[in-house]
Chain A
Amino acid sequence: MVMMPVNRMADQTPVTAPGLDPESAWWLGVLAETGPRREAALARLHELLVRVARAEAARRGPRVRITGPELDDLACQAAADALIAITGKLGQFRGESRFTTWACKFAIFEVSAKIGRHFWRHPAVPLDAEDWDRLPDRFGFDPAQEAEWRDLAAALRRAVDDTLTPRQRQVFVALVLNGVPLDALVLELGSNRNAIYKVLFDARRKLRSVLVANGYLRDDSPGNS
């Protein structure tokens, strides 16, 4: 897969802003100091991160079945880890957004990562299971069209078996058939989100190509309408 780089020049977004907004400049300045002003700023930043992490954990919690003190603990750990990441990466802030927006991103990422870890404490399915019966629910196949989708499902399964690499097949089965969250799979495979996404991206493209070639999906690429 060739992923397109973000073209900052084309969209007229400078890599380094010519001037920070006053609040962002204040944050950068005070966090570069030593002493009580920096400590107070860190405490204020931590408060913000806790607030954001709690809100994000509450937003996601019901879907991942984490509630109560466990969810709050997850949020507080996420905020603490985000603060460490931020203070270690201050030099990477380029002033393309407000400092607080950049900082909040770390809290969101930490909540994501911690929810991914939580999945394996109570996994719904083993990683190597292969539940093809989930396919109709996963893609909303209409029971009234069972004969047609069974044919499609069989074709998809053949394509998975015949065209995907072992790694692509492993990722497809885990994410699509077994419903393992991508961030949880990343941890299990000792990989990273980008790498797993790329594996799935290539698998999706291959599978669609096979299903189009065999008449199961429409080819609406230019010149085939």
Chain B
Amino acid sequence: MNDWPALDRFLRTDPRDVGCDQAMEMLHVYAEVVAAGGPAEQRYPGIAAHLRACGPCGEDFEGLLAAVRGGAD
């Protein structure tokens, strides 16, 4: 058997994954925890799992995190 890491990563699913709706609903809270250096992954494992797997939500998170770190106020 060969290793196909990219394909394996893509096909692997995490049962903790909360899906897009719940991740998007809590994205502002999650982003603030991350920006503050808090334990976001431990506190919100289902959102962390989702953001790792979902490109669009991951992209939204990166954008919001950049806004928070850039002083969104």
Contact = CB atoms under 8 A, between A and B. Distances in A.
Interface in A173-225: 176, 181-183, 192-194, 197-198, 201, 204-205, 207-208, 211, 215-218
Interface in B57-73: 57, 59-60, 62-64, 66-68, 70, 72-73
A104 to B, nearest CB: 5
Contacts of B4: 139, 141, 149, 152, 216-217
A139 B10 CA distance: 9
A81 interface: no
A217 B57 CA distance: 27
Interface in B1-59: 1-8, 10-13, 15-22, 24-29, 31-32, 43-44, 46-47, 53-57, 59
Given A4-B46, A140-B6, A55 B67 contact: yes
A194 B44 contact: no
Interface of A: 1-7, 11-13, 23, 48, 52, 55-56, 59-60, 96-98, 100-102, 104-105, 107-109, 111-112, 138-141, 145, 148-149, 152, 156, 176, 181-183, 192-194, 197-198, 201, 204-205, 207-208, 211, 215-218
Contacts of A1: 19
Contact of A197 (B2, B54, B62, B63): B54
B29 A112 contact: no
Q: Which of B10, B47, B56 has the most CB of A within 10 A?
A: B56
Q: Which 3 A-B pairs have the closest CB atoms?
A: A208-B11, A3-B19, A194-B20
Contacts of A218: 1, 3, 8
Contacts of B3: 218
A197 B2 CA distance: 28
A96 B2 contact: no
A48 B73 contact: yes
Given A60-B63, A101-B31, A217-B7, 6 more contacts: A3-B22, A4-B46, A97-B32, A101-B28, A105-B60, A152-B4
